[in-house]
Structure 1
């Protein structure tokens, strides 16, 4: 899950931004291209009131929530770089390269609620393996 918070009007095409952000995270995680991951890797764009200590609202906050262990250090570096580049591109504002905060968060066991059930990491891995093998 990806949540992007920015002042209203920051992005010309929030729907495209959401799709691109979800695609980046899925690609960086290197998860299999199966329906389970295509349908459940999503981004949400939020209009937000933001300000730093000077009262400047021109910041963007991106929060990425993954299952535990999905992003090793190299993947963390790549996802932060790519999401920051995406924010700059989608906003047309180069200054946001220094004003985009990306928070990387791992879900706790039982922290993924999909299909009406709180899943552990092991359950998610098992479900993915089942889908990869055609349900066998």
Structure 2
């Protein structure tokens, strides 16, 4: 269940909801996960606004940090390259200040085994894959998920 966190100066984006939705959809597409409710409902982006005084480079500049948390092994090298390129482009297109987009950092992080808390329980990758397969089987059989 990928999670995306975007940290940016206040008022960097006019439409947080659209940005979050676009980032989540891009990550699902790149990961090539099945388009099922379990993934659509739990692939989420969060937009965090920070006051200008709460971030700075050594030279006093600012930028945008995008952190992507995925299941272990979800992104091979080609997918890593695609995530960084596509998410950077989406953030740059949504930003109100072109100077900010000169410094978009995308951090790729894999969850530790058992590192996914969902439905009130910590899950391993294998448990999440099993839950996804069960939902896919239900949908294919025409049963409600």
Query: What stretches of structure 1 of length at least 5 have no aligned partner?
Result: none
**Hey, what's the Cα distance between the residues in 2 that align with 1:4 and 1:84?**
11
Q: Does residue 103 of structure 2 align to residue 99 of structure 1?
A: yes
1:14-51 deviation line (CA, Å, top 9, x unaligned): 11101101111111100000110001000000012321
Query: What are structure 2's unaligned runs of at least 5 residues?
Result: none
TM-score, normalised on structure 2? 0.89
Q: Of 31, 34, 57, which residue of structure 1 is paired with 2:36?
A: 34
- In angstroms, what is the RMSD of aligned CA positions? 1.4
Judge conservation of contact 2:114–2:124 (CA < 8 Å) in 1. Answer: yes
Counting matched residue pairs gives 135
The one of 33, 50, 61 aligned to 2:55: 50
Q: What is the TM-score with the length of structure 1 in the denominator?
A: 0.94
Map residues 12-23 of structure 1 onto 2, 5 A cutoff. 12-23=14-25
Q: 1: CA distance between counterparts of 2:97 and 2:90?
A: 11
How far off its partner does 1:93 sit?
A: 3.7
